[in-house]
Every structure is written in C-alpha cells, then in structure tokens.
Structure 1
Amino acid sequence: MSVDGEAVEPGWEVDPDDEWGVAVIATVGRQLKLRREAVGMRAADFGDAVGYGEDLVYKIEGGKRIPRQEYLDKADEVLEAGGLIAATWEDVKKVRYPKKVRELGKLEAKAVEIGLYECNIIAGLLQTPEHARAVISAAQPPCSPDDVERMVTARLARQSVFERDPAPSIHFVLEEAPLRRQVGGTMMWRQQLERLLEVGRLHNVTLQVMPTNTDAHPGLDGRIELLKFPDGTAVGRSDGAFNGRPTTDPKQLRVIELQYGTIRAQALPPRESQAFIEQLLGET
C-alpha cells in the first residue's frame, strides 16, 4: 500500500452500525452494478479495466466496501457514464469516515470555542499523518492496513478546523510525557514537535504543556473536551466525570469547565510551553 493509502485498495470497509452510511454505499453499489450489466461487461473484465480485482468489484457493488473517488472516476470512464457515476462521490464522501468521527467533526466544525486536554497522547487535531498512522497501527488487536488508512484519513480531515473562517478559538493542554515519547523514531518525533510549534503560532490557537513535575490536577483521570457553539450552547466530556459521557447539562458543564480551567491555570503559559517544546527539539 502507498503511504497515503490511495494507490492499492479501492475503498474502505463499511461500518454495519452506520445506517446512513450503509444505505448510501448500497445505493451507489447498485448503480455501479446496473450500469456494468447494462453495457454487458462481466465483473472480472470490469475489474481488469479499472485496475482492481473481481472480488473487490463485487464487494463495492454489494455495498460492503466504500469506493474511493479514484475508483468512481475510473468506473465512469470505463462504463461511459457521462459523469453520472463520478458524481456519486458527492454522496460517498459524506459517509467515507467512521460514524463517530463524522459526528465529532460536525461538532468541531460548528464550535466557536474548542478546549481539549489530553493526558496520554498528542491530540488528534495536532497529529502529523505519520504520527497518526503509527499510533493507530499500534492498536491491539491490530487493525487491517485498510482500516488504519481510513482512520488516519478521517483524523486528518478533522484538522480542516484550523482553516475555518471565521476561525474558532482553540485551546490545547498536553501532558509532557507524550511529547517525549519518540513515536516512529527520532525524525518522525521531531516532525511532530515542529507541527506543534507551527499550530501553536496560529493566531486563534493556544497551546500549553502540563509538566510532569507538577502537583495533582483534575485531568489525571483522563481526557477532557469542551466545545461551545454560536447559540450559547455547549457540549463537554470528561473521562473522570459523569461516566465519561458527553453532556449538555448546564450543571455538569460547569463542573467540566471548572476542571478544564484548573488544568489551564496549572499548565505552563503558552510562551513557556513553546519554549519547552523548542527545548525538547534541541535535545536531539
């Protein structure tokens, strides 16, 4: 498989629990099959024409696999569909990522304020493609290479939040320990630290580091996330409160805001945090 995961596999596996995704991909698959049969082309011949195996052609036509844009473009050309098949990418791209990631991405895309504390990893919104791939590949039981690429692509897609206009206010607090973990080797680790410095310099982003040599704080139980929206509503989640479930209840949100505010106050200020990361880079 290529580094970006696009060259070999024609698509991702469909999440059976994603009802909307299943329906969209099943419809696209039927359209592909009907068009192929209408021109009298066998699945094996069609697979040869688009550059993929017969088994994978059947999976896509059967709604078991999410086709990539490249596959749909080739299919449109081979079947002389005049752009009708290629146009289905507009529907497919809306469901190509796992349901949970889509829901999180939708919330982040609407938020005017995003606050995130991570204790064990570098936040997904801050990860380089190489770092994300290394972290996701380390899961046990291991994910298939195809699933790894799907999750990496989904994670990177969420980073479009940095390009929004008007820009949301985004705040990160990261623990020192994950910053020191050389995931993927020294070069990959250095690239990840440089990415943190780059994002930390954005006018709408504040990045703080929580030193390991510090007193106990409310984030020791795990991740905390807080998103606020233009209409004044908010949603928050804390691993150490309310069973770790997302909440919109005002009383519970006040608790999460207190936790996050305490963490922010205890972490290094942004300028010192930038200097801390630069010092880590200088140690190699």
Structure 2
Amino acid sequence: MTESASQESRPELPSEADGTAHLFRAIGKQIRVLRENLAMSQKELATATHCGLDLISAMERGVRTPQPEFLDRADDALKAGGVLRAAIADVREAQARARTRHPEWYRNYAKLEAEAVELHDYNIQVVHGLLQTEDYARAIFSQRRPLLDEETIEKRVADRMDRQQVFARWPSPTFSFVLEESILQRPIGGWQVHAQQMRQLLRLGRLRTVELQIMPTVREEHPNVDGPFTVLTSKQRQQVAYTEVQGHPRLITDAEEVRLIAARYGIIRAQALTPLESLTLIEKMLGER
C-alpha cells in the first residue's frame, strides 16, 4: 500500500481534525527554514534555546509541540523578527484543546503535570509516561486489555508525546524518578524497542533537571508495597499526589495523606541506587560499559 493510500484509509486523529497537528507542522517548517537560512545547526539552536537536540529535531518534523517559552527564545536566536512569537497565542490555544482530548478523569492531573514546578514519581511496572519513547508507549497501549482500537492508540501515543514538552520549559521543573529494576528487565515491545527505551532513560537521566534512580530487586526492605504514585508541586506550591490502580485514578489533595506519601518517597530514594549508579547499571545492561 502506498503512503498516500495508507493516509487516506487511516482515520483522522483528533489533533488533525482540530488543526493542532497541522499548526505544529507549519511552525516546525518555519523553524527549520529560519535555522537553515542562518546556516545554524540543530545542535547550535538547541544550545541557544536551552533544550535538547532531539527536541529540536522533533519540533522541526512537527511531532513535538513548540512551547511558548521556546518560541520566545527561538525568535531571538533565529532573528525571526517576531514571526515565531506571533504563533505563541495559537500554540496556547492548541494546547488548551489538547488538554480536553485527555480522558475526562485524567484532565485535572494532566493540567497539574503541565504546570508543576516539581514532579517526583515511583513506578513498579513500566517506565513513566514522561520518559517513554514513542514505540514503547505504542507497545504499552497496544497491549492494554480490553484491546483499544487503532485510532485510540494513536491518539493516546500522540498525547503522551505531547506531555513530554514539560522538559522544554524554562525555568525547568525539578524532576525525579525511581524505577524498580524489574522494569529494565522487561522488554516490552521487543528487544529493539526496549533498547531504544533504555537509551532514552540514559539521555533524560543525564539532564541537569532530572534525577533518575533504580530500586534494586535484591533489597531486603521496601517502604512501599502499595503501588506506584506521583507527587506534584503546583505553581501555587501546593503538593498533591496521584495514584492509578486497575484503571481507577485518584488525585490526593489531603495534606496529611500527601505528606505520608512524600515521606515514603524520600525513604524509597534513600534505598535506591544513586543517579550515577543507576545510569551505570543501565549502561551495563545495554552492554555499553
């Protein structure tokens, strides 16, 4: 089947139907043309705008959302004369539409995550969504039971990738992630997808704003056997927690309950490998050390 035939038969995604995907592709092309006109490399633009090389590449291809803060910095770096800043209002409107595409039960959390000044997560089954590669995320959604249809899978993958724009914000939120070692041993999606995901963990774990730790399976004590959770600090400096078990999400705002979960997370981090030890373990598992 040709690419054009495949596109014709594929259902239109929500981001395409409301124009969001087309907007981001157009902005990405503008960024690429402006950069090439200055004979600037993607790496040079990444340095000038305080973001990763992979993110620049993804934005130019239209598969990642250019954040308003990035457009403001890029307008100066690319001598765009206000062309990119003029798109900021449209991007914010598109982001608001994107938030409504999340399942209703998830929207409050998604909004908090996008605006958080701190995010700390403990996971036991899979890599956290903010750290996932596109192929890993697709494998996760494809294996859900009951099975999801293809349109829903692609929508959820696109929305998950869009959430990762939080790493491009500046000033950046503070991130920390603790993953159980068993996650690194489970090749979800196959070994090639798994290897790409492991390299993604290395890349993100080396960011100045991210601390990634692995909880070894051999630990004889463990302060949390109740499941995964996320602790967020909002712009208003209110700390909340989020859990999701068997499809039942819960946003926890009670101060005492959140305090107990945060305290538990502190003990987990103390018992886990250090960030440097964790990255070294991942490199060894990949055979790169």
TM-score, structure 1 normalization:
0.67
Q: Distance in 2 between matches of 1:239 and 1:150?
A: 20
How many equivalent residue pairs? 214
Tell me: CA distance 1:220–1:146, structure 2 relative to 1, closer, same or farther (3 Å).
same
**How far off is 1:184 after superposition?**
1.7
Tell me: CA distance 1:66–1:103, structure 2 relative to 1, closer, same or farther (3 Å).
farther
Q: Distance in 2 between matches of 1:254 and 1:70?
A: 39
Which structure: larger Rg?
Answer: 1
**How far off is 1:238 after superposition?**
4.8
**How far off is 1:94 after superposition?**
4.8
Query: Is the Cα–Cα contact under 8 Å of residues 214 and 273 in structure 2 kept in the other structure?
Result: yes
**How far off is 1:252 after superposition?**
1.1
Runs (5+) with no aligned partner, structure 2: 24-89
Cα deviation, 1:42-76, whole Å, max 9, x if unaligned, reads xxxxxxxxxxxxxxxxxxxxxxx982528999xxx
Tell me: CA distance 1:102–1:247, structure 2 relative to 1, closer, same or farther (3 Å).
closer
Partner of 1:223: 228
Identify which of 103, 107, 110 aligns with 2:108. Answer: 103
Partner of 2:119: 114
Partner of 1:184: 189
**How far off is 1:93 after superposition?**
4.1
Identify which of 60, 65, 69 aligns with 2:19. Answer: 69
| 1:253 counterpart letter in structure 2 | V
1:123 aligns with 2:73: no
**How far off is 1:245 after superposition?**
2.9
**How far off is 1:101 after superposition?**
4.2
| 1:213 counterpart letter in structure 2 | V
Query: Is the Cα–Cα contact under 8 Å of residues 105 and 249 in structure 2 kept in the other structure?
Result: no
Partner of 1:254: 259
Alignment of 1:133-144 (within 5 A): 133-144=138-149
1:210 aligns with 2:210: no
Query: Is the Cα–Cα contact under 8 Å of residues 142 and 148 in structure 2 kept in the other structure?
Result: yes
Q: Distance in 2 between matches of 1:171 and 1:72?
A: 33
SS at match of 1:187: helix
Partner of 2:12: 10
**How far off is 1:95 after superposition?**
2.8
Q: Distance in 1 between matches of 2:284 and 2:22?
A: 48
SS at match of 1:146: helix
| 1:272 counterpart letter in structure 2 | E
1:195 aligns with 2:200: yes
1:269 aligns with 2:274: yes
Tell me: CA distance 1:6–1:120, structure 2 relative to 1, closer, same or farther (3 Å).
farther
Query: Is the Cα–Cα contact under 8 Å of residues 120 and 175 in structure 2 kept in the other structure?
Result: yes
SS at match of 1:9: coil
SS at match of 1:114: strand
Q: Distance in 2 between matches of 1:247 and 1:267?
A: 25
| 2:126 counterpart letter in structure 1 | I
SS at match of 2:167: helix
SS at match of 1:152: helix
SS at match of 1:264: helix
SS at match of 1:232: coil
| 1:180 counterpart letter in structure 2 | Q
Query: How well do the aligned residues superpose, as a CA RMSD in angstroms?
Result: 3.0
**193-202 or 151-160, larger mean C-alpha shift:** 151-160
Query: Is the Cα–Cα contact under 8 Å of residues 10 and 71 in structure 1 kept in the other structure?
Result: no
TM-score, structure 2 normalization:
0.66
Identity fraction in percent: 38
Q: Distance in 1 between matches of 2:253 and 2:141?
A: 29
Displaced runs of 4+ in structure 1, greater than 6 A?
A: 70-73
| 1:215 counterpart letter in structure 2 | E
